[in-house]
């Protein structure tokens, strides 16, 4: 597919301006970024295809969130690792102050990439930290991110610097072919076609959370087909099985506790088969705090709305 590339000034990483620029383009059309590229193919372990669709169909851009431990680790180490990678591999790497965009002719595809680094000859450099040992092959989520970056930067490869659990920095060169690029562009075109039409792609497996977000309460009544009774019965059966499973678990735990007679470990023929050790946890006594400091507690109480599906008796 033919297209064109351009760059835009990069807002502060992680800021609302940065998130908004990644979410929609200058014409208000949804974009797909490299970090979520694998979700288009159903290969992102942290974001489903439906999650991405819901995010792009939302009325407002995502808002900044507090960094988790993995994000914090990456943000802290990235500048150091880029410098280390450049020294180790004897290549020059700079951190771009722009975002790299690719649009197909007609704008049916809008892709965007934030690059950790780039070489003087335009090769993207991506830095990763991992709690796992590097095996020499990119996981699908990283693979699609690399293909996406290669498209946006108009490169035939991506250089990866991977700092793994052995505290070693590994170099991996991902060669990206024109077929790989075209496959990704085609998948993004199909996905964005549904988003531009205002619907979730039919192949996206919706979760209850997705459905709740997509269908806010409107205080009206929907007429369901008679065949939908099967789905209602499925929910009732699932809830019954859940209750029965909880009762079975309670019974089994009681039997085990009585058999152990206070021992931390149980064995059969000398082989350890079960443990029952003391654990401790700290919790905030909300009830006491509200009782002793009601005015202060009121300032920190956060109310959230939620909806519960309940089935009712049906006429036979």
pLDDT in tens, 117-144: 999 999 999 999 999 999 999 999 999 9
Question: Does the residue 72 lie in any domain?
Answer: yes
pLDDT interval class at 159 (50, 70, 90): very high
Please write the tens of the pLDDT for every residue from 67-123. Answer: 777 778 777 889 999 999 999 999 999 999 999 999 999 999 999 999 999 999 999
Burial grade of 312 (CB within 10 A; 0-12, 13-18, 19 or more): exposed
Question: Does the residue 310 lie in any domain?
Answer: no
Nearest to 150 by CA among 35, 34, 40: 34
Question: Does the residue 260 lie in any domain?
Answer: no
What tokens does 204 get?
């996206």
Range of the domain at 106: 3-214
pLDDT interval class at 316 (50, 70, 90): low
Q: Domains in the chain: how many in total? A: 1
User: What sign does the dihedral 256-260-263-269 (CA atoms) show?
Assistant: negative
Question: Does the residue 245 lie in any domain?
Answer: no
DSSP conformation letters of 267-306:
EETTEEEEE----------HHHHHHH-HHHHHHH------
pLDDT of residue 69: 78
Question: Does the residue 129 lie in any domain?
Answer: yes
Question: Does the residue 264 lie in any domain?
Answer: no
Question: Does the residue 265 lie in any domain?
Answer: no
CATH number of the domain within which 54 lies: 3.90.320.10
Count the helices and strands in the chain (H runs, E runs): 10, 10
Average pLDDT, the chain: 93
Residue carrying the six token digits 């990235």: 78
Phi and psi of 315, rounded to 5°?
A: -75, 140
Q: How many residues does the chain have?
A: 316
Does residue 56 contact residue 195 with C-beta atoms inside 8 Å? yes
pLDDT of residue 214: 87
Question: Does the residue 261 lie in any domain?
Answer: no
């Amino acid at each position: 597919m033919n297209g064109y590339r351009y760059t835009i000034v990069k807002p502060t990483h992680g800021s609302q301006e940065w998130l908004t620029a990644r979410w929609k383009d200058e014409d208000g059309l949804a974009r797909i970024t490299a970090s979520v590229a694998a979700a288009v193919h159903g290969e992102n372990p942290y974001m489903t295809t439906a999650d991405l669709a819901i995010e792009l169909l939302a009325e407002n851009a995502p808002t900044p969130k507090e960094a988790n431990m993995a994000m914090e680790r990456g943000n802290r180490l990235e500048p150091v690792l880029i410098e280390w990678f450049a020294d180790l591999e004897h290549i020059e790497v700079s951190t771009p102050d722009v975002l790299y965009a690719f649009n197909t002719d007609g704008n049916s595809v809008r892709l965007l990439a934030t690059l950790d680094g780039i070489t003087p000859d335009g090769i993207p450099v991506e830095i990763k930290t991992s709690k796992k040992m590097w095996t020499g092959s990119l996981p699908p989520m990283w693979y699609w991110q690399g293909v996406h970056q290669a498209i946006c930067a108009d490169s035939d490869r991506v250089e990866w610097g991977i700092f793994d659990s052995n505290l070693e920095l590994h170099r991996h060169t991902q060669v990206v072919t024109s077929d790989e690029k075209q496959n990704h562009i085609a998948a993004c075109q199909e996905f964005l076609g549904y988003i531009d039409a205002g619907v979730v792609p039919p192949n996206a497996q919706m979760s209850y959370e997705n459905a709740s977000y997509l269908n806010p309460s409107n205080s009206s009544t929907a007429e369901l087909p008679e065949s939908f009774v099967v789905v209602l019965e499925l929910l009732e059966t699932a809830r019954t099985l859940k209750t029965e499973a909880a009762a079975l678990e309670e019974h089994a735990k009681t039997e085990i506790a009585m058999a152990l007679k206070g021992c931390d470990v149980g064995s059969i023929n000398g082989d350890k088969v079960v443990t029952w050790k003391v654990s401790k946890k700290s919790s905030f006594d909300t009830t006491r705090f509200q009782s002793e400091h009601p005015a202060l507690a009121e300032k920190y109480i956060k109310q959230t709305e939620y909806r519960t599906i309940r089935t009712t008796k049906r006429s036979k």
